[in-house]
Structure 1
Amino acid sequence: ELTTQVHKRGMRLVLDLVVNHVGYQAPLLTEHPDWFHSEGTIENWGDPVEVVTHEVHGLPDLAQENDEVYATLMDAARLWLQTGIDGFRLDAVKHVPLEFWAKFNRELLADRPELVLLGEHYDGSPKIVDQVQREGAFTNMFDFPMAFALRDVFCQGQSLSALASVLSNDRLYTDANSLVTFLDNHDMPRVLTQCGGDRARVERALEAQFALRGTPALTYGTESGLEGGEEPNNRGDMRFDDDDALMKRIETLLRVRNERPSLVSGTTRILAFEEGLLVLLREVAGEQTWIVINGQAKNHVDLDGLSGLAAEPYRDLLSDEKVDGSFDLEPFEVRWLEAAAPISLDDLVAKRQVRFTVAEANPEPNETLVIVGSGPELGAWSPADGVPLVLRADLTYSARIELPTALVFAYKVVVRGEDGQAKWEDGPNRSLFVAAGNAELNVSIETGEK
C-alpha cells in the first residue's frame, strides 16, 4: 500500500537495508552462531581488514563470505523487492567486503536494472568513494566529501577553498552527478546544532547544496529545525511543523532547481575564486546557471570583472529580480543567477604551467620539502606523492608543474624525512585557483604566513 501511494505521487521508495550486522539480541545469534565473525569490536578503524571482520560498536558482525549468509541476505532483498520498492540504501558499506557488494549488487541489477542502489561509504576521499561505487556496482553514493565541506564552510566559517577544492575533484568521479549530497545524517550532529543554532546559516547551506551537482537529500527534521548533537541526541522525534521557514525555503529551492536542467544534471565549472568568494557555472545543453557563494564577511562582487566574461544583466532565480553584475553580498549569502545570454568557454586554455617558490625554508640535509594538496597532481594529501621542491641558487625552493585550469587546489608545505615521516606546516590550508591563461602562474610562499 505504501509503495502504491508513493508511486501515485510521482515519488520512489528506497528502503534502508543492513547486511553488515544484526541486533544485539537477534535470534540468529543462537540459531546460526557460525554465521558471525567472532573477532570482537573494532579497535583500529584504519585497518582495512579489521573494519570488515570486527564488530561496529559491538553489533554482531555477519560473515558475508559464508554461502548461507549470502543466500539469506539475497532472499531478504528479493522479498522486499516483491513489494514494488524502487531500491535500497545500503548501510555500512566500508564494513562489508567489496567482493560481496560487487556480486550482490550486480545480481540485483540483473533482476531489476532500474533499481537505485545507494551506498553509504563513510570516507572523505573522492578517489575511494568512486572506486567503491565502480567496483561495488552501486548506482549512487552518499557524498561525504561534500557534506564535510559544506558543514566546514557554513557552520564552522572555514575558507571557501574547502568547498571549491571538493568541487575541483569532481573530475575524479566517473559521474559526479550520481552522488547524493546531504548536510547531516543519523551518525552526525544535526546541521542546525553544528551551525550553533543559526537557522540563517543552515538556510544558506541548503541554498548551496541544492545548487550543486548531485541529488540533494534531506535527513528527516532538517526542514523543521530539528537539533541534536552526538548520538542518540541527533535522532530525536520528527516535528511536523508545516509553517517552518526552513521548509518554505526548501520548497522554493526544489521548485527552482527542478525548473533548471543545468542544476539537475549540468556540469560545474569554477569561473572565479577568492578566499571569500566562489563563482560557479552550471551548464547543460546550452542552459546556464551562475552560482555565487560568499564567505563569512560582507563582500562586493563584480561578476564581469572577476570572470572576464561579460554576461549581465542577470535574473536572480530565487527572488525573480533583475540585477546587474555588480552587487553587495551578506555573509554566507548564496545567489542563483541567470545571465542575459549564455557565455562561451570553448576557447579557454585547459592547462597552465605553475611554479611554486618557497622562501626562508630550512629543511635538514636528509629532508625534502614538498607541496602536498587536494588533487592527484599534488599528491592527493599524501606526502609520499607530493611535489618535491628543489633548492635554487637564490636559496629558495622551487618546483614547476602543469595543472588543469578552472580548479581550486587546497595545499600545504610539508617536510618529508627519509623515513617517510612528514612534518606539516601549521595553520589552515593554503589555496590556489588556477585561472585560464597562457603565462606561467607564479606562487610565492613565505613559510609561517598564509
Structure 2
Amino acid sequence: MNRILAEVPAPDFPYPKKTLSKPFFRKKFLKIVTHVIFFLVSSAVLILATPFNPISSQGDQTLNEQSKSWNGETIYFVLIDRFKDGSHSDWNYSEMPDINSFHGGNLKGIINSLDYLENLGVTTLWISPVFSNRPSRFYNYSAYHGYWVWDFFQMDPRFGTLSQLKELSEGLHKRGMKLILDFVVNHMDYDAPFVKKFPEWFHPYGTIVDWNDSFQLENFKVFGLPDFASEKPIVQKFFRAVARYWIEQVNPDGFRLDAVKHVPISFWGSFNGFIHESYGSQFFLLGEFLNGDESIVSNVQATGNFDSLFDFPLYYTLVNVIAKGKSAKQIGHRLYNDYQYLNAGNLATFLDNHDVERFVSSCEGDLRKYKLGLSFILTSRGIPTLYYGDEVGLPGSQEPDNRRDMNFKLNPEIRNFVTALLDARKSSLALKKGIQMQLFMDDTTYAFCRFTPNEQAIAIFNFASSTKNLQIPLLAAQNEGQILNEAIEGKNCARIHGKNLFWSAPSMSSGLFLLPKSENIYLDLFNKIQGWKKDPWFLGDVKVTFELRFPEEKNSESVRPKLLEAKLVGSLPAIGKWDPKSAIPLVRQGKGNAYSASLKLPSKGIFEYKYFLKREKDVIWQKGDNFLVELPESGGIHLFNNWEP
C-alpha cells in the first residue's frame, strides 16, 4: 500500500498563481486519492479476472431491456469557452480577440442556459474537458478547448469552479437530464509539471509521422503532446483514481473518452470494465474512434468494452450523399452493415463536431440540404449528438473556424425544425428504440421505417432538386385509403393504398409519418427482423452471377497471355470484404470475351463490389465508383458489367 502511494502522485501540481481563483486544498485530495488507491489495490485481482461480457445486439434486446439503454437519449455537446459567458465579474480571460484565444464562455453560462436546452428537447449535455489546462499560450494557440491538460485533479478556473460543476450536474438531474464529462487519458500539455516529475510515465518517442502505422498511433505524440505509456500498470491505476475522483465529486452519468485510437485497446477494456464494475452498467462510456470502416469500429466497440462509439462511418456517408450529391444508395449500403455492431442503436450519430467541418458549411450554406441531414440523424437509429450551434445552422469550415462563438439568434426556423423533430422522437417509442428497416432506395431517394410490435414511423428523404411522386412499399398492409399527415412541417399528406404509401415529396426535403398505434400489429414481423438484424443469412440466400465482358480486341489470343486473372472483390465477407487476397476469381467462358463467377449471397443483402486484373507484373483496378447492388429476398440475379482496361 505504501509503495503504491509513493508511486501515485498527489494531485496538487502548482498552477500559476495569477490564474488561480482559490488555493488548492492538498490534504483533502490526498485523502480522496488514498481511498481510491486502497480500493484499486483491494479489488485489482477481481477486476482483472472478470471476463468481458459484451452488450447485446439491438436485435436481441427486448424493448424492456432497451429502455435501460441510452438509445433514447439525445446528446448536446458544448465547447465551454464558446457557448456563453454567464459571469458578471470584471475578469477577462481573452488574451487576443482571435479564434485561438479564450473567449470567456464558462459553466455559469451553461447553467443559465439549462432552460434553453430543456426546451430545445435534448436530454443529455456533454461538455468539453474541465481539467485545469495550459495557463499560457503555446505559440499562437490557447487551451480554450480543454484538451491540453495541466492537472487532472483541478478545475480550470477559466471555465468555472467545482461547486459550479456540481450545480450544473444537479440542475440537469432535476430536469431529468444527464451529464457527460469529457475524459482525456492519452496525453498532457507540452509543459505540464506532471511530465517533468514522472517522465517514465510517458513514451520516449517523437511526433506521429505515419498516421497509418498502428505503433506510432499508440506510442508517438499527437502533435507533439506528451504521450502517456498507457500500457504501464501505474498509469492505468492513476487514471482509475482520476475517474473515481470526478465521478464521486460531480456525479456525472458518463464519460466521453478522447482519442481512443491513440491508446492501446487493452487499456480501454480494463479501464471501461473497472468503471462499469464500480459504478454500474448504466454509466455511459462513449469513445471517440475516428474510422470510417464499420468492421473496425465494431471490433473496437466490443474489445474495448465501450457502450458506444461515434458513428463516423455513417457521418462520412451522409457527407457524401447530402453535401456532395452522391447516390443515396450509399446510405442503404452503410446501414445494411449494422449487423456487424453489438448494438447499432447505441452508436452516437452526428453531423459535425469540433474536429470536422460544420455540416451546413459542407452543404455550402444550403439550408435545405442541412435540414435533410438534421432530419436523418434525429429520426434514424442511434443516439443523435448535436454540436452546439447545430440547432441554428452555425457555420464553420475546418478547425478552428468550426469553433465559433454560439449565436442564439441565428436561423430561428432551423431551431424550430430541430425542436419539432426532437418532440416527435420523444413521443414515439418507434423513433427512440424501434428496429430500423429500409423500405426503398434509389439514387436520389431513401426511405426507412422504425417500428416496435405496436407502432411504426416512416421517414422519407428526397435528395433530388425536383418534386418526386413516390410509391414506398410498406412492411404490412394498413387501412385502405388512410391519409397520413406529415409530422414535422405539415407538408403534403401521404395516402395509403394496399401495401404502399404514396407521397408527393417536395425537392430537397424529408417527410416523417407516424402510423396509428395498434396492439401487436407488427409483432410477428418484429420477431422475424430481430433474427435478420443479428444474422444477414437469416432470410436465406440467393444465387448471384457476376459477368464481366471485355472488348473483343482486348481478348484476342495475342493479348490473352498478358491477362493472367480477372477477379471480383466487394464489401461482403463472401466476396472478400475488400481484401484482394480473398477475391473471387472469374472464369473465362470458352474463347470469348466474357468472364463470370456464380455464388450464393445473403437474401436482401446490400453490397458494393469491383473488378481487378492481375497481370504478370501488376494489378489493375477498374476505374470509377464501386458497383452497388440490393439483392432480392428470393430467386436469383445476373449482374453484367463491361470493362475496357
- TM-score, normalised with respect to structure 2: 0.65
TM-superposed deviation, 1:260 = 1.7
Code of the residue aligned with 2:271 in structure 1: it is: F
Code of the residue aligned with 2:341 in structure 1: it is: Y
Decide which of 395, 411, 420 is 2:593's aligned counterpart: 395
Q: 1:167 to 1:359 in 2, by over 3 A?
A: same
Match of 1:405 in 2: 603
Mean Cα deviation higher: 13-22 or 282-291: 282-291
Match of 2:72 in 1: none
Q: 1:141 to 1:442 in 2, by over 3 A?
A: same
Match of 1:335 in 2: 511
Once the two structures are superposed, the pairs formed by residues 234-253 of structure 1 within 5 Å of their partners are: 234-241=402-409, 244-253=412-421
Q: What do residues 385-404 of structure 1 show as CA deviations (whole Å, max 9, x unaligned)?
A: 33332211343111222222
Mean Cα deviation higher: 48-57 or 392-401: 392-401
TM-superposed deviation, 1:107 = 0.6
Match of 1:281 in 2: 449
- TM-score, normalised with respect to structure 1: 0.92
Task: Tell whether 2:529 aligns with 1:358.
Answer: no
Task: Tell whether 2:482 aligns with 1:313.
Answer: yes
Measured in 2, the distance between the counterparts of 1:209 and 1:364 equals 52
Q: What do residues 211-268 of structure 1 show as CA deviations (whole Å, max 9, x unaligned)?
A: 2111100111111222221221111222223762221111111111122212212222
Unaligned runs of 5+ in 2: 1-166, 496-500, 530-537, 555-559
TM-superposed deviation, 1:364 = 6.3
Code of the residue aligned with 1:218 in structure 2: it is: L
Code of the residue aligned with 1:313 in structure 2: it is: Q
Q: Is the 8 A contact 1:371 1:378 kept in 2?
A: yes
TM-superposed deviation, 1:374 = 2.8
Task: Tell whether 2:252 aligns with 1:56.
Answer: no
Measured in 2, the distance between the counterparts of 1:416 and 1:89 equals 45
TM-superposed deviation, 1:47 = 1.1
Measured in 1, the distance between the counterparts of 2:311 and 2:199 equals 35
Residue aligned with 2:339, SS: helix
Measured in 2, the distance between the counterparts of 1:410 and 1:259 equals 37
Code of the residue aligned with 1:335 in structure 2: it is: G
Identity of matched residues, %: 32
Q: 1:257 to 1:370 in 2, by over 3 A?
A: farther
Q: Is the 8 A contact 2:322 2:369 kept in 1?
A: yes
Match of 2:265 in 1: 98
Match of 2:297 in 1: 129
Code of the residue aligned with 2:637 in structure 1: it is: L
Once the two structures are superposed, the pairs formed by residues 107-146 of structure 1 within 5 Å of their partners are: 107-113=274-280, 114-146=282-314
Task: Tell whether 2:439 aligns with 1:293.
Answer: no
Match of 1:221 in 2: 389
Code of the residue aligned with 1:210 in structure 2: it is: L
Decide which of 489, 494, 500 is 1:323's aligned counterpart: 494
Measured in 1, the distance between the counterparts of 2:181 and 2:423 equals 25
Q: Is the 8 A contact 2:542 2:636 kept in 1?
A: yes
Q: Is the 8 A contact 2:550 2:644 kept in 1?
A: no
Q: What do residues 269-310 of structure 1 show as CA deviations (whole Å, max 9, x unaligned)?
A: 222222222222222223222222223342534425x56965
Q: Is the 8 A contact 1:161 1:408 kept in 2?
A: no
Measured in 1, the distance between the counterparts of 2:354 and 2:564 equals 44
Residue aligned with 1:49, SS: helix
Q: 1:268 to 1:367 in 2, by over 3 A?
A: farther
TM-superposed deviation, 1:314 = 5.0
Match of 1:68 in 2: 234
TM-superposed deviation, 1:327 = 3.0
Question: Which of the pair has the greater relative contact order for Cα pairs under 8 Å at 6+ separation?
Answer: 2
Measured in 1, the distance between the counterparts of 2:489 and 2:400 equals 38
Residue aligned with 2:511, SS: strand
Residue aligned with 1:103, SS: helix
Match of 1:7 in 2: 173
TM-superposed deviation, 1:422 = 4.4
Match of 1:24 in 2: 190
Task: Tell whether 2:259 aligns with 1:89.
Answer: no
Measured in 1, the distance between the counterparts of 2:403 and 2:353 equals 9
Measured in 2, the distance between the counterparts of 1:263 and 1:418 equals 54
Match of 1:378 in 2: 575
Measured in 1, the distance between the counterparts of 2:452 and 2:563 equals 51
Measured in 2, the distance between the counterparts of 1:252 and 1:418 equals 61
TM-superposed deviation, 1:41 = 0.9
Measured in 2, the distance between the counterparts of 1:322 and 1:190 equals 32
Q: 1:404 to 1:297 in 2, by over 3 A?
A: farther
Question: Of the two, which has the highest radius of gyration?
Answer: 2
Residue aligned with 2:378, SS: helix
Q: What do residues 134-193 of structure 1 show as CA deviations (whole Å, max 9, x unaligned)?
A: 111111111000111111111111111221111010011111101010011111011111
Residue aligned with 2:178, SS: coil
Number of matched residues? 446
Code of the residue aligned with 2:621 in structure 1: it is: W
TM-superposed deviation, 1:330 = 3.4
TM-superposed deviation, 1:123 = 0.6
Mean Cα deviation higher: 355-364 or 222-231: 355-364
Measured in 2, the distance between the counterparts of 1:27 and 1:64 equals 18
Q: 1:426 to 1:202 in 2, by over 3 A?
A: same
Match of 2:246 in 1: 80
Q: Is the 8 A contact 2:185 2:258 kept in 1?
A: yes
Q: What do residues 63-83 of structure 1 show as CA deviations (whole Å, max 9, x unaligned)?
A: 112232222211111111012
Code of the residue aligned with 1:116 in structure 2: it is: F
Q: 1:26 to 1:422 in 2, by over 3 A?
A: farther
Residue aligned with 1:445, SS: strand
Once the two structures are superposed, the pairs formed by residues 162-201 of structure 1 within 5 Å of their partners are: 162-201=330-369
Superposition CA RMSD, Å: 2.5
Q: Is the 8 A contact 1:298 1:328 kept in 2?
A: no
Measured in 1, the distance between the counterparts of 2:185 and 2:569 equals 37
Measured in 2, the distance between the counterparts of 1:422 and 1:134 equals 35
